[in-house]
Amino acid sequence: MVGAEAKTRGLGLSALAPRAVQSEIRAMSVESDRVGGVNLAQGVCDTEVPSVVAEAAIAAIHEGHNIYTRQDGIARLRRAIAEKTERMQGLVVDPEREVLVTSGATGAFHAVAMALFDPGDEVLLFEPFYGYHVGTLRSMRVVPVAVELEMGTWALDLDRVRSAISPKTRAIVVNTPSNPAGKVFTRAELEGLAEIAKEHDLFVLTDEIYEHFIYGDAKHISMAALDGMRERTIIMSGYSKTFSVTGWRIGYVIADAKWTPAIGYFSDLLYVCAPAPFQHGVAAGIETLGKTFYAGLAMDHEVKREMLVSALRDAGFVPHVPDGAYYILASMEKLDNLLEGENAAEKARSLLKKTGVAAVAGSAFFRAGKGEDLLRFCFAKKDEDLEDACRRLRGLRR
């Protein structure tokens, strides 16, 4: 109807859309490809896929597992996830009611946030943070509230957590081991957070996608395994990293049966189901690969960590050595202006230009104005590519 009061908004983007810019991580990957660089920017994890995993996925295609699965995933994979969770974490999980297979941990977080939060709710997360956690919450008009970890040691200050809580706070996001700092939350830290969560009746969303990437004396502990935390803890994880299949999009949620139907509903709306043949591939991997595989994975990556730490030091960076995951945040404070630029994003481009190694600006993991003297490097690369990157980095001083 054409009338004076019948004005529509007309063509245009949503209020959120102008914020939806390409992530710095993806931008650096594009730049790296353009100049034929070695990409240590994105956590693509291009190490070998375990053959049992790859073969089972190929066999599943030939056997006709190419149609939609149940939205919560094939029974075989849900059972495998439940058994592995009991074996490794001591958590008894019902594969019929408490496990959902999702489209990656990314899809898991999205569906969980849609099921549990309303616009205007606040959710605490720790800085440096994983940008997708922030972006996903914002995309739902949920307010991410960053709580700073101690720079460099990444120690958790529980008083800071307490003072960030408001009547609108609904949850705390814990990413352990973390991207980008490689922080592995200690039992004492998790217990402190658990107390706060109980006191304020909050959910704890725990992203444990790097659970098998643990170095030295660090130990992965899931919040869900702490006394009295099962009902309020939502585990989100997946196999992108463990089996080097980031492109397969196989993740999962473990949660109390009170929450899984709603989370599953949104996962279905967003993605329908995770890719069918890849669910079979991952199930075969979990069933077949045992302690030796996981120990080998951690050991291999610890060696890669040492390679990159040493090259970064030789190049003049001050790397913060991670206890877990596969990223290094390295400070540029002692680089003597070898890199040009006013901020971390410009310096990352200068590093790419001078060495052909792509890294991500530290500012991508902090609130505005912070992280400008840091770059993040990923070491989940094939040895020959990592060696090449290390050689190029050492060349920075020559």
Q: State the residues that interact with ligand PLP by CB under 6 A.
A: 43, 104-106, 130, 175, 179, 207, 209, 238, 240, 246, 251
* Cα distance between residue 57 and residue 336, in whole Å: 50
Closer to ligand PLP by Cβ: residue 105 or 115: 105
Closer to ligand PLP by Cβ: residue 218 or 315: 218
Nearest distance in Å: CB 62, ligand PLP: 26
Residues 6+ apart with CB under 8 A from 167: none
Closer to ligand PLP by Cβ: residue 209 or 276: 209
Closer to ligand PLP by Cβ: residue 105 or 255: 105
Nearest distance in Å: CB 245, ligand PLP: 9
Closer to ligand PLP by Cβ: residue 29 or 169: 29
Helices (H) and strands (E) in the chain, counts: 12, 13
Inter-residue contact 208 to 176 (CB < 8 Å): yes
List b or e across 167-194, with b for residues whose CB sees 16 or more CB atoms inside 10 angstroms: eebbbbbbbbbbbbbbbbbbeebbbbbb
Nearest distance in Å: CB 314, ligand PLP: 27
Closer to ligand PLP by Cβ: residue 85 or 106: 106
Closer to ligand PLP by Cβ: residue 43 or 319: 43
Inter-residue contact 389 to 357 (CB < 8 Å): yes
Helix residue spans in the chain (DSSP H):
24-34, 51-62, 75-89, 104-116, 131-139, 158-164, 187-199, 260-271, 276-288, 291-315, 344-355, 383-394
Nearest distance in Å: CB 139, ligand PLP: 15
Closer to ligand PLP by Cβ: residue 271 or 316: 271
Nearest distance in Å: CB 246, ligand PLP: 5
The burial of 165, by beta-carbon neighbours within 10 Å (0-12 exposed, 13-18 middle, 19 or more buried), is given as: middle
Which tokens sit at 11? 């063509």
Nearest residue relative to ligand PLP (C-beta): 104
List b or e across 19-54, with b for residues whose CB sees 16 or more CB atoms inside 10 angstroms: eeeeebbebbbebbeeeebbbbbbbbbebebbebbb
Nearest distance in Å: CB 88, ligand PLP: 18
Nearest distance in Å: CB 240, ligand PLP: 3
Nearest distance in Å: CB 376, ligand PLP: 11
Inter-residue contact 364 to 131 (CB < 8 Å): yes
Residue 203 forms beta bridges with which residues? 171
